[in-house]
Amino acid sequence: MKIEQENSITEQTAVQETVLKGIAAASGIEIGIALVVGNAPDQPLSFYETSPVSISEQDVPFELARFEAALEATRNEITEICNKVKVSLDENEAGIFEAHLLIVEDKKLKKEVVSGIQDKLLTAESAFSLIMQRYITAISSVADPYLKERAADVVDVAGRILGHLLGWKRSLLDHLPGQRIVVAKELTPSDTVMLDRENVQAFATETGAKTSHSAILARSMRIPAVVGIPGILSKVHNGDVMIIDGYQGVVILNPTPQTLEAYALKEAENAKIYNDLLTESTQRSETLDGYRVALAANLDDPNKADELEKYGAFGVGLFRTEYLFLKDHIPTEEEQYEVYSALASRCGAAPVVIRTLDLGGDKISSLINFVQEPNPFLGLRSVRLCLAYPHLLKPQLRAILRAGVHGNICMMFPMLTCVDELDDLLRILEQIKEDLRREKIRFAEDIKVGVMIETPAAALSADQFAERCDFLSIGTNDLVQYTMAVDRGNERVASLYRPLHPVILRLIRHIVKSAEQAGIWVSICGEMAADPMYIPLLLGLGVRELSMSPVSLAPAKHVVRSMKYIDAEAVAERALLCSSQEEVQELAQVFLRMIAPGVSDLNIT
């Protein structure tokens, strides 16, 4: 943390400390300065009531640029309205908006705000709010009824400008003025994937839950995060000092010096426990009674492949390719081929499971998901989208097949519900292989093809899927969502999202049995695989491969190495007979505390 930030921490600790509870999304503790983005653009005027927030001199150019951008966006918005009104109503009505444009262009207003930022060292919204407050009070107090009415116009325009200043999320995230804790109503997966770890110390959001894709990304980017915090936007102001505790899902605003000290200590202790676990990463992944477990990594960013060795991953159990599509263009076959073959070469003989495009739900690409759906998690998601637009799928299948000659690549189809979808996909795959043969392009003829089991329909027909493919991988994030009918990203129903419900365990058991009967392997690549408390249960149910975010591998390996398979099997048998998540949780907690108390206390997410 930089010196001036440390100073401001000390200055601000006199303010009342407030503890906010949310959902722990990514482990770690960070202490820093809040930067609020996307703040309630629906009610920007409420910002007038908040107290002014100061900045340091080095933040001035950033605040000036934000103000300019907000003016520009407002100008464009009003011009567009004006043009529409001219067509649909008449010139007179449009005149109102032309007057609004004049307010945006007002040189005096602009000069005063610029001076507020430059001379008084205020954030753009603070400087703007203070000046607008003065203007509006002055206009409202004049006797002339015509002028009095103009106050409404000023309020309208001011609201728009402020809305852009406070809701200017993406650009703001791209230009952070140094290290900050980002506070937002929502960070979508495409916002999160663009975050720069150098500048974003941590984040806290009003929406979201533990298995929403932004939370998964935070874990993989190692950005501590707390999500699903009700009303956080109305409680935090730019410049507030805050602590993010990603272990416990707690945010502390304006902490006292005692709290700051306690958290600094806690972070040091946790770091020590984690580093001790890391020393085990080169050891065999085997239980005390010799049950071998493959521990692989989930990757969303191919550049993270460097970390596989450090964390002791045996290959990649899930490469989420959709993040290649959430950037500024749809990657070509050649671009995808480069990425997949580099990953395969890096992993040598270890398997690299490349999942085909899984866009939709909360992973929305403005290039591809251009139709807004009322219920995207039940809409044209994933393979449904790919089957509807084969031009998206075919270059990807070609790229994966071609990259297969550089290593041990497997291909995996997500989000299937019925076997006929798999039959369609396999037919397309055969056609593509035929094309490649005809074009005399080298590819992996015998590439292994797997299926993700993440809907109840697929789980219940796991036997039929198992007959048609080489492996199954259980996507518990979605399997829990669709089985419990609970949106995985909705904090309001987060307590109903129950991975340990016996119903889920029974489905997993059925999938494992189906794979065993067909003689194929089965893994779990959903977030359940990464939770130390769930691991003994999953192994006890017969799962032999777990794939997770690299940072979760060290605690997972420690759990595997601390338990006996035979005991885990007994716990799993008992869990299958339970009737509630609470009962299973109790069993799992007691077991974890017994075999690995250090990991249990750490509460790693």
Among 59, 191, 245, 478, binds ligand PEP (CB under 6 A): 478
> Rounded to the nearest whole angstrom, what is the least distance from the CB of residue 384 to ligand PEP in the complex?
14
Segment contacting ligand PEP by CB under 6 A, of 132-140, 284-292, 472-480, 593-601? 472-480
Segment contacting Mg ion by CB under 5 A, of 156-164, 278-286, 329-337, 478-486? 478-486
Among 351, 475, 532, 536, binds ligand PEP (CB under 6 A): 475
Residue 300: name its binding partner from ligand PEP, Mg ion, none (Cβ under 5 to 8 Å by kind).
none
Report the residue number, 215 or 347, with the smaller CB distance to ligand PEP: 215
> Rounded to the nearest whole angstrom, what is the least distance from the CB of residue 287 to ligand PEP in the complex?
24
- 314-333 residues near ligand PEP, rule: CB under 6 A: 318, 320
Segment contacting Mg ion by CB under 5 A, of 187-195, 256-264, 451-459, 571-579? 451-459
Among 477, 483, 585, 600, binds ligand PEP (CB under 6 A): 477
Of these residues, 100, 164, 213, 406, which one is catalytic? 213
Report the residue number, 483 or 585, with the smaller CB distance to ligand PEP: 483
DSSP assigned state of 41: T
> Rounded to the nearest whole angstrom, what is the least distance from the CB of residue 77 to ligand PEP in the complex?
35
> Strand, helix or coil at 278?
helix
Among 255, 317, 475, 502, binds Mg ion (CB under 5 A): 475
> Is residue 26 within 8 Å of 223, Cβ to Cβ?
yes
- Which H or E run includes 445? none
Question: What gap in Å lies between CA 587 and CA 572, rounded to an integer?
Answer: 9
54 DSSP β-pair partners: 122
Q: How many chain residues bind ligand PEP (CB under 6 A)? A: 11
**CB neighbour class for 430 (10 Å; exposed up to 12, middle 13-18, buried from 19):** exposed
Report the residue number, 161 or 524, with the smaller CB distance to ligand PEP: 524
> Rounded to the nearest whole angstrom, what is the least distance from the CB of residue 73 to Mg ion in the complex?
35
Report the residue number, 66 or 355, with the smaller CB distance to ligand PEP: 355
Segment contacting Mg ion by CB under 5 A, of 140-148, 264-272, 332-340, 449-457? 449-457
> Rounded to the nearest whole angstrom, what is the least distance from the CB of residue 370 to Mg ion in the complex?
22
Check binding of 206 to ligand PEP (CB under 6 A): no
> Rounded to the nearest whole angstrom, what is the least distance from the CB of residue 454 to ligand PEP in the complex?
5
Check binding of 478 to Mg ion (CB under 5 A): yes
> Strand, helix or coil at 35?
strand
Mutual angle of helices 60-88 and 145-166, in 10-degree steps: 120
Question: What gap in Å lies between CA 227 and CA 206, rounded to an integer?
Answer: 6
> Strand, helix or coil at 471?
strand
Residue 499: name its binding partner from ligand PEP, Mg ion, none (Cβ under 5 to 8 Å by kind).
none
Report the residue number, 94 or 383, with the smaller CB distance to Mg ion: 383
> Rounded to the nearest whole angstrom, what is the least distance from the CB of residue 465 to Mg ion in the complex?
15
| CA dihedral (173, 179, 183, 188) positive or negative | positive
> Is residue 473 within 8 Å of 525, Cβ to Cβ?
yes
> Is residue 377 within 8 Å of 454, Cβ to Cβ?
no
Check binding of 487 to ligand PEP (CB under 6 A): no
Binding mask 514-553 for Mg ion (x = CB under 5 A): ----------------------------------------
Report the residue number, 35 or 507, with the smaller CB distance to ligand PEP: 507
Binding mask 354-383 for ligand PEP (x = CB under 6 A): ----x-------------------------
Examine the residue annotation and report whether 525 is marked as an active-site residue of this protein. yes
DSSP states along 361-425:
TTB--TTT--SPPSSGGGSS-THHHHHH-HHHHHHHHHHHHHHGGGS-EEEEE-S--SHHHHHHH
Among 188, 369, 476, 549, binds ligand PEP (CB under 6 A): 476
> Rounded to the nearest whole angstrom, what is the least distance from the CB of residue 526 to Mg ion in the complex?
7
Question: What gap in Å lies between CA 380 and CA 389, rounded to an integer?
Answer: 10
**CB neighbour class for 470 (10 Å; exposed up to 12, middle 13-18, buried from 19):** middle
> Strand, helix or coil at 66?
helix
DSSP assigned state of 279: G
Of these residues, 386, 410, 469, 525, which one is catalytic? 525
> Is residue 202 within 8 Å of 22, Cβ to Cβ?
no
Question: What gap in Å lies between CA 301 and CA 305, rounded to an integer?
Answer: 8
Among 526, 536, 540, 555, binds ligand PEP (CB under 6 A): 526
- Which H or E run includes 542? none
184 DSSP β-pair partners: 37, 205
> Strand, helix or coil at 331?
coil
Q: Give the N- to C-terminal CA distance of the chain in Å, as an integer.
A: 24
Closest C-alpha to 396, from 437, 429, 349: 429
> Rounded to the nearest whole angstrom, what is the least distance from the CB of residue 184 to ligand PEP in the complex?
21
Segment contacting ligand PEP by CB under 6 A, of 184-192, 229-237, 434-442, 475-483? 475-483
Burial state string for 503-529 with b = 16 or more CB within 10 A and e = fewer than 16 = ebbebbbbbbbbbeebebbbbbbbbbb
Report the residue number, 97 or 413, with the smaller CB distance to Mg ion: 413
> Rounded to the nearest whole angstrom, what is the least distance from the CB of residue 76 to ligand PEP in the complex?
36
Check binding of 454 to ligand PEP (CB under 6 A): yes
Check binding of 163 to Mg ion (CB under 5 A): no
Binding site for Mg ion (CB under 5 A): 454, 475, 478
Footprint on this chain of ligand PEP (rule: CB under 6 A): 216, 318, 320, 358, 454, 475-478, 525-526
The catalytic site residues sit at 213, 525
